[in-house]
Structure 1
Amino acid sequence: MASNELPKTTSQYVLKTQKGFESLELEHDVSFPKLGDYDCLVQIQAVSLNYRDLIIAKGQYPFPVKTPVIPCSDAAGNVLAVGPKVTEFEVGDKVCTLFNEKHQAGALTPVAVASGLGGAFDGTLRQYGVFPEHGLVPAPTNLTPTEAGTLSCAPLTAWNALYGLESKALKPGQVVLTQGTGGVSVAAIQFAKAAGAIVIATSSSEEKCKFLKEKLGADITINYKTHQNWGELAKKHSPDGEGVDHVIEIGGPSTMEQSMKAIKMEGVITVIGFVGGPGAEKQPSTLDTLTYTCTVRGILVGSRLQFKAMNRAIDAANIHPVVDKTFEFEKAQEAYQYQWDQRHIGKVVIQLGRLQ
C-alpha cells in the first residue's frame, strides 16, 4: 500500500469515565500519531474481551488506569506500514498485540505492569493503531484473525501459569485443575491436553461440563454447584489420589480453600483472578501454604518471549482458541454485557471487518 493510500484517521472507542459500559463512546475520524522509526501501523481486524476490560469500565480494576483511554488489550491485525528502523515486521505481516508493552522477557517489573494496553496505555478497540515494534508478535499461521485476536491476555496467562515457573513447568502425565469456562481456563485445558497432561475441569453446569469433556478433551469434570467440596473430589480423582500438580486459580478468595484441598504436595496454585468475588468468611492464610506444602504464585499475563513460545506451540499442535460469539464493532457495549452476564464459553470477540 502506497504511503498516500494509508489511512490518516480511525474510528475508535474511548472510555472517558469508569461508570459502566455506557461510558464507552464511539468516535470517528480521529487522527492517530505519526509513524515513528520503530513503529508499525496496524489495521486491527479482531479484538477480544477479558474480565479485566469489564471491571476497568466499572471502575473496579486494582491497577493503574488513565482516562480517557482506548480500551482492550487483545487484538490481531495486518501491518500496513513500518518505520524505517523496524526489523521484525514487514507490510502484510499478521500480528497480535502484547498486553504489557514493556514486559519483553524475564521477571515482571513495576515498569512493565504500568504499560498495560487498555489501562495505562491506549488499547486496541479501534480500526487502526500505531504500535511499537516491541509491542507486537507474529500471529500463529494456523489461526484466523478472529482466533488470533484472543491470544494477548487469556491464553498467554494460561501459558505462563503452566510454563512460567521453569522448575515447576508442566510435564506429560501431570494433572491440571481448571476452574470455569472463561478464556484462561479453556486455553489451559487446550495447552495441558496438547502436552499430554490429565485435566480435571470444574464448571457451574452439566451443560458446560459436557462441553469441556466432549469438545476440549477434559478427562474429568466436576460441577462445583452440586459438589461444593470439589477440591477434595478433584484430589480423589487424581491418578494416585495425592492431588493435582497445577491449579489454575481464577476465582480468588472464594475458591482458594478448595484449590488448597486439591493440590498435591509441591504442587503449584497459580492465582490469576478474582472472578468469584470476595469469598466466604473462612479464607486460607499464608500458613496454609505450609500445611499443604505448595507454591502459590500470582501472575499478570506474560512476556513477549513467552508469547512467541506459545504461538510456536499453537502452530505446532494446531490449537484453535474457542470463540463463543462475535459482535460487530458498533455493538461493543452489547459484547461487554454479554460477557458480564457469564453467558460465554471461551472468548467473546468484536469484529472490525476483513482486509480491504
Structure 2
Amino acid sequence: MKAWRFEGGFGFENLRLVELPDPVPGAGEVLLEMRAAALNYRDLVVLRGQHGRRVQPPLIPLSDGVGVVAATGPGVTGLPPGTRVCPAFFQHWDGGPPPDDLEAGRLGGPLDGVLATACVFPAATVVPVPDHLSDAEAATLPCAGLTAWSALMAAPQICPGEVVLVLGTGGVALMAVQLAKAAGARVIVTTSTPERAAQVAGLGADLVIDRGATPDWAACVRAATDGMGADRVLELGGAATLPDTIRCTRVGGQIILIGNVTGNRAEIFLPAILTRQLTLRAVTVGSRQGLAALSRAIGQHGLRPVVGQTLPFAKAPDAFRILETQSVFGNICIRIGD
C-alpha cells in the first residue's frame, strides 16, 4: 500500500509518499480500501509539530476519511465487502463519557491516520455512511461533522426556535448551520468577507454578519435578538473572539468552546459570566455512537457537507498548503481511490 507519512520530523520537508506492507485484518478487524480523506485545522497543528509530545513521527496524518470494506477478519459480522464506512476519530470512545486517556485514541496523531490507500481498523470503530453522499462529502464526517453534531446535540440538546450563533465558516461551522436549521433553530453566522456571507446565506443561515463591515458584531447579534442575545454560541475563534461572544450570549445561555485559532489565552470579565449564569463547556469531536447518530441524521434530512476543493492523492501536500491560506469555502479533501 501507499501512504503519506511524516518521517524523521514534521513539516512539509518530512511529509513523504512511502510504500508500506499491505495490512491484513485480524480478529474483529476490517480492511478498508480508502476512497477519500478530509483536512481539519488540527492537521495543520500536527504538520507544524505543535500537537504535543505524544504525537510523534513516523505518523500517517489526517483523522477524517472514508473507505470501502475490502476484507474482514474472523468474528466480524454486519460489514460485508463493499460497505462504505468512516472510522471514528477516537478509536477507543464508543459512547458515554469520554475515557480518561482521551488523547491516546485519536487518529492522525498519536495513532496513524487515514492518508493511505488501505487501512485496518477494529470493526467496532467504523460507521456506515449515507448513500447519497459523495466520497469527499462522507470523508468530512468523523471530525468536522461530528464536532458540529456534538455542539448541538449534547445536553442540553438543541430545541426548535433556539437562536444559535456560529462563529466562522470553516468545515465545523458549515455543518453546524445545516444541522441547526434541520433542528428548527434560528441561525446567525459571522464571517470575514461579503463573498462568504453570500455563500453561507445560501446554506440557510437566517442572518450573516460580515465582521469586516461590522467590527462590533456582538452588538449586531444583540440587536437582531431584541437585546437578548443568542441561546447557544459555537465559539470557534478562541482568545480574540471569546470576550465578544460572552457579550452576545443571553442570560442562562451557553457557549460551546470548539476552536482556538485566534489564540490560547483569553482575558475575560468574570462578572459577565457569573451574574448572567452563562455556561461554558468544551466539545472535542465525540464518540463512535455520536458519529453513527450524525450519519443517520444526515441520511434522514438529505444534508450534504460543503466540499470546497478536492485534490488527487499524489498532491496531498498541496492540500495542507491550501488549507493554510484559508482561501477555500468548505472542506478541502483528497481523493484516494476510484
What TM-score do the two structures reach when normalised by structure 1?
0.91
* Structure 1 residues 247 and 42, CA gap change in structure 2 (3 angstroms): same
The partner residue of 2:219 within 187, 211, 232 is 232
Question: Which residue number corresponds to residue 211 of structure 1?
Answer: 199
Counterparts of residues 127-206 of structure 1 (less than 5 Å): 127-165=117-155, 168-206=156-194
Cα deviations by residue, 1:165-222 (Å, 9 ceiling, x for unpaired): 2xx2101111111111100000000101111111100000011011111x20111011
Helix, strand or coil: the match of 2:114? Answer: coil
Counterparts of residues 1-356 of structure 1 (less than 5 Å): 10-28=1-19, 30-62=20-52, 64-165=54-155, 168-213=156-201, 215-238=202-225, 240-278=226-264, 283-284=267-268, 287-354=271-338
Question: Which residue number corresponds to residue 7 of structure 1?
Answer: none
Helix, strand or coil: the match of 1:253? Answer: coil
Partner amino acid, structure 1, of 2:14: S
Structure 2 residue runs without a partner (length 5+): none
Partner amino acid, structure 2, of 1:253: A
Helix, strand or coil: the match of 1:114? Answer: helix
Deviation larger for 343-352 or 87-96: 87-96
2-structure distance, mates of 1:253, 1:244 = 19
Offset at 1:289?
2.5
Offset at 1:63?
7.4
Offset at 1:294?
1.1
Helix, strand or coil: the match of 2:292? Answer: helix
Are the aligned partners of 1:21 and 1:337 in contact in 2 as well (CA < 8 Å)? no
Deviation larger for 182-191 or 140-149: 140-149
Cα deviations by residue, 1:241-279 (Å, 9 ceiling, x for unpaired): 311111111111111011101111121111111112357
Offset at 1:353?
2.6
Structure 1 residue runs without a partner (length 5+): 1-9
Helix, strand or coil: the match of 1:173? Answer: coil
RMSD of aligned residue pairs (Cα, Å): 1.5
1-structure distance, mates of 2:17, 2:97 = 36
Partner amino acid, structure 2, of 1:245: D
2-structure distance, mates of 1:57, 1:192 = 32
* Structure 1 residues 49 and 269, CA gap change in structure 2 (3 angstroms): same
Kindly, what percent of the aligned residue pairs are identical?
A: 38
1-structure distance, mates of 2:117, 2:180 = 34
2-structure distance, mates of 1:290, 1:61 = 32
Helix, strand or coil: the match of 1:153? Answer: helix
Are the aligned partners of 1:202 and 1:222 in contact in 2 as well (CA < 8 Å)? yes
2-structure distance, mates of 1:292, 1:124 = 44
Cα deviations by residue, 1:307-340 (Å, 9 ceiling, x for unpaired): 1111111000000010000001011111101011
1-structure distance, mates of 2:269, 2:105 = 31
Partner amino acid, structure 1, of 2:294: M
2-structure distance, mates of 1:292, 1:225 = 29
Partner amino acid, structure 2, of 1:252: G
